[in-house]
Amino acid sequence: MARYTDALAQANWYIKCLLGVVAASITVAVMALFGWRSAERDVTVHIPPDLTTGAQINVGRKEVPASNVYLFAFYIWQQLNRWSSNGQQDYGNQIYKLQAFFTPACQQQLISDMTTRAGQGELDQRTRSVMEIPGLGYRDGRVLAHADGSWNVLIDTQIIESSRGVPVKDAYVRYPLHVVRYDVDRELNPWQLAIDCYSAQKKPERLDPDAVAVAIKGNRAVVQNSDEYANRSFAEGGVSQTQGATTGPTSPPSGTSGGQRKPTPQDLAPATLPRVPR
């Protein structure tokens, strides 16, 4: 009789153990289900444009890498300035198409610029394309981050324009763009960034083609040499003489025969990034 009593007690103990395991499993399943339902459905991953040397990617990081900020600014600005057939329609169409990537203030500034150009007859049958100058793309120093979460971005471009098939402009122009965080509509703007037009009331400036040629050969950045440029390294060297970025074809600087002049010691002087007023 004692043997049957022990067997019954052992069976009851085994059943209690199984019930404990089942209860623990149910608890873990409920916690997992709650965690799954409360987890983020959208995860932001910032992938650097250049992966030739590999990269460390942090999923969900709030910081935007400088290379991605530069890529965003250049890509959107290039699309804005792409007039494939007629600037009279293309400029306005691009502003409307890319409106999710510009702040409202910048949109109004672009519309005002379009109206002014149209009134002066600069858009009729005008085509335009903007390209990155080979060898003068992204590098450390072209993106300056601010404490408020915005960035100043310098992009050096080559602008080519034609009117009714006749070339009217081929110039090197630097754009000082201001990029801000703009997480207002991820369906239309997955970048969560926006261009706020030009930074600190700066305007585009023409780059000297001779200095650009020297910079390309020496893989140097072309920058203006003035008192505003201080406190932050931009590149190894290369300085340009700049002038207002107005329309019209470029011409060789005075004192040259139309060809490229030899680089002077001033051309190879140390270069710095502009310290933009806040």
With 70 as the cut, is the pLDDT of residue 247 above it?
Answer: no
First to last CA, the chain: 93
Average pLDDT, the chain: 76
- Highest mean pLDDT range out of 105-114, 191-200, 252-261? 105-114
Do 222 and 237 meet the contact criterion of CB atoms below 8 Å apart? no
**221-236 mean pLDDT:** 38
- What percent of the chain shows pLDDT beyond 90? 40
- Which tokens go with 180? 């801000």
> What's the CA gap between 165 and 136, in Å, rounded?
28
User: What is the C-alpha separation between 81 and 86, in angstroms, rounded?
Assistant: 12
Residue 35 pLDDT level (bands cut at 50, 70, 90): confident
Q: Beta strand 205-207 with 242-244: parallel, antiparallel or unpaired?
A: antiparallel
**pLDDT tens track for 195-214:** 999 987 788 899 888 888 88
Q: Which of 51-55, 180-184, 263-267 has the highest mean pLDDT?
A: 180-184
Q: Is 201 left (phi over 0), alpha (psi -120 to 50) or beta?
A: left
- Looking at residue 214, what is its pLDDT? 80
For CA atoms 225, 209, 70, 97, the dihedral sign is positive
* Cβ pair 153, 80 in contact under 8 A: no
| pLDDT given for residue 28 in this prediction | 93
Check residue 277 and give its pLDDT.
36
Name the pLDDT band for 233 (thresholds 50, 70, 90).
Answer: very low
- What gap in Å lies between CA 217 and CA 215, rounded to an integer? 5
**Average pLDDT of the residues in 243-264:** 39
Q: In whole angstroms, what is the distance from residue 91 CA to residue 95 CA?
A: 6
Contact of 168 with 250, CB cutoff 8 Å:
no
Q: DSSP letters along 178-233, please? A: EEEE--S-TTT-TT-EEEEEEGGG---EEEPHHHHHHHHHHT---EE-STTEEEEE
Which range of 228-237, 239-248, 264-273 scores highest in mean pLDDT? It is 239-248
The 8-class DSSP code of residue 47 comes to -
* Residue burial 75-93, b: 16+ Cβ < 10 Å; e: rest: ebbeebbebeeebbebbbe
Q: What's the pLDDT at 60?
A: 56
Q: What is the mean pLDDT of residues 123-132?
A: 93
What pLDDT, on the 0 to 100 scale, is given for residue 219? 58
9-30 pLDDT tens trace:
788 888 889 999 999 999 999 9
Residue 44 has pLDDT above 70, yes or no: no
Alpha carbon separation from 32 to 13, 26, 27, 40, 171 (Å, rounded): 29, 10, 9, 14, 60
User: Binning pLDDT at 50, 70 and 90, where does residue 183 land?
Assistant: confident
Per-residue pLDDT at 43:
63
